[in-house]
Amino acid sequence: MTDKIDWCATRIRLDRRQMISGIAAFSALAGAPFRQAFGQEGGRKQIPIPGGDFAPVPIAIPNFAAGTPGDAEVGVGVTQVITNNLKRSGLFAPIDQSAYLEKTVNIDAAPNFNNWKSINAQALVTGRMTRQGNGRVKAEFRLWDVNTGQQLAGQQYDTSAEYWRRIAHIISDQIYERMTGEKGYFDTRVVFVDESGSAQHRVKRLALMDQDGANVRYLTRGADLVLTPRFSPSTQEITYMEFGQGDPRVYLLNIETGQREIVGNFPGMSFSPRFSPDGQRIIMSLQQGGNSNLFVMDLRSKAMTRLTDTPAIDTSPSYAPDGSQLCFESDRGGKPQIYVMPATGGQAQRISFGDGTYSTPVWSPRGDYIAFTKQGGGQFAIGIMKTDGSGERILTSGFHNEGPTFAPNGRVVMFFRDPGGNSGPSLFTVDVSGRNELRVPTPGFASDPAWSPLLS
């Protein structure tokens, strides 16, 4: 609404200027025809400002105020989680609290922006945690633009006290979304294969954690080898491959109830499963002699549909976010490359043409890129390419990097890296631009990460 008013004011002023120059006596109401009649004369000269630059946004996050004396600790905790999230995103530069002129800020009043301008903050987060009578906790926050003095976002949440970390993640997402214009990814979890023990007797367990490495939970006991866990879009289920007593099989695991089942009952191996975007189907590879083909199974009707029938190894299928297409890896051309085909089967189009081999393709939830592992010249690289195969960009390269998975907003890729030797793999994240590579803290060695969709 204010935009409207200012806009009118502009016209009135322009008219006055023209009248002074003795052109004509237009009334203020004649603004629009006036502007049209004189074209450039009435309009403003436009000066192109191409480019601009990217630098992390300096943001100040003073400790959340305590609603009651007992809430100081959780207030500090929430602030730390938000600060850590935003810092790790690479898009924000949280200012050290020791530089603040005010240590705590009242959320109910407009802040004194000069105190924050002077430390070069561009955004300011104020908040408060208050314990309620029923054991729940109320979280409030406001996000301010320091330069314009405007409130950009403000929310309050009510949750049980033990979920304070999730509240911090949700607030982080709000800040991220408001400041970058894109969905956040902090209120998410990552399932991965936790590895412990010596290189000869490696114990592999499925584990679940928050995207920042907190709240690790083990989902399997480690008696059997587990590989390639994948999140369902409904976030309650995980599909993965496990070497049991016989052939490796695809399993479905409910992470809330712990219930687990084999997906289908086929002779031979079934592997590299992944959910369809609607969560209703699982696509996977089935072994058929020396070859493997892609099949999709409807989880309700248990009906199987064959998608490929080639004398080659077709594996690692991944759906486009709209479910219309899928990408997969196949050696039908001689060595492993990435192909794209309609989700109903049909003609597959090869999209990877660089040197080396391409494997483990993953379609971005945003739809713009396909991430892959590229092997060549004794190196394993993680890269992305557009869905037509153009614009290949290597994000990281080294002795062994593998298993890319996208954050739900498609801006960050997580993968695992094994430095070789007696060491073991660990998880890393990198921006799709190739910037901001960071190690994800895990209790031990970790591989095969899979990022969940946003929980809320």
Partner 1 sequence: MKVKVDKTLAASIALHVLVIGWGLVSFSTRAFVMPEEDTVDVDVISSDQLSHAMAGQKDGKKENPKPLVEKVADAKPVDDAVGKIDDKKAPVVTETAPPPTPKVEEKPEKKPDPPKKVENKPKEEPKPVEKKPDPVKPDPIAEAIKKEEKKPPPKPVQQAAKPPPEQKPKERVFDESKIAALLDKRDPTRASITGATLNSNAALGTAKGKSADNSATWGAMFRQQVERCWKNKPYGSLEEQRTQVVIDIDLKRDGTLARMPVPETTPSTPYMRVYQESALRAIIACQPYNLPAGWFDEWKAFAPVFKENNT
- Size of interface with partner 1, in residues (CB under 8 A): 42
Q: What backbone phi and psi angles, to 5 degrees, belong to 357?
A: -115, 155
Interaction of residue 49 with partner 1, rule CB under 8 A: yes
Q: Which residue has the tokens 């496990």?
A: 242
Interaction of residue 25 with partner 1, rule CB under 8 A: no
To the nearest whole angstrom, how small is the minimum distance from the Cβ of residue 309 to partner 1? 35
Interaction of residue 147 with partner 1, rule CB under 8 A: yes
Structure tokens at 214: 């907190």
Interaction of residue 50 with partner 1, rule CB under 8 A: yes
Interaction of residue 134 with partner 1, rule CB under 8 A: no
> In this complex, which beta carbon is closest to partner 1, that of residue 108 or of residue 182?
182
168 Cα distance to chain centroid: 16
Interaction of residue 3 with partner 1, rule CB under 8 A: yes
* 173-181, 204-212, 304-312, 382-390 -> range binding partner 1 (CB under 8 A): 173-181
To the nearest whole angstrom, how small is the minimum distance from the Cβ of residue 382 to partner 1? 17
> In this complex, which beta carbon is closest to partner 1, that of residue 217 or of residue 393?
393
Q: What does each C-alpha distance from 186 to 54, 56, 78, 177, 255 come to in angstroms? A: 21, 17, 13, 11, 19
To the nearest whole angstrom, how small is the minimum distance from the Cβ of residue 362 to partner 1? 17
Interaction of residue 300 with partner 1, rule CB under 8 A: no
Interaction of residue 118 with partner 1, rule CB under 8 A: no
Contacts of 231 (CB under 8 A, 6+ apart): 189, 191, 237, 238, 275, 450, 451, 452, 453
Q: Is the dihedral of CA 326, 177, 427, 207 positive or negative?
A: negative
Interaction of residue 145 with partner 1, rule CB under 8 A: yes
**Among residue numbers 377 through 416, which ones bind partner 1 (CB under 8 A)?**
411
> In this complex, which beta carbon is closest to partner 1, that of residue 6 or of residue 256?
6
DSSP state of 4: H
**Among residue numbers 340 through 379, which ones bind partner 1 (CB under 8 A)?**
366-368
**75 and 93 Cβ atoms separated by less than 8 Å:** no
Interaction of residue 114 with partner 1, rule CB under 8 A: no
Alpha carbon distance 6, 4 (integer Å):
6
> In this complex, which beta carbon is closest to partner 1, that of residue 297 or of residue 414?
414
**The one-letter amino acid at 446:** A
Interaction of residue 201 with partner 1, rule CB under 8 A: no
Provide DSSP, 413-438: EEEEE---TT---EEEEEETTS---E
**411 and 432 Cβ atoms separated by less than 8 Å:** yes
Residues near partner 1 (CB under 8 A) are 3, 6-7, 10, 14, 38-41, 43-57, 122, 145, 147-148, 152, 177-182, 366-368, 411, 431-433
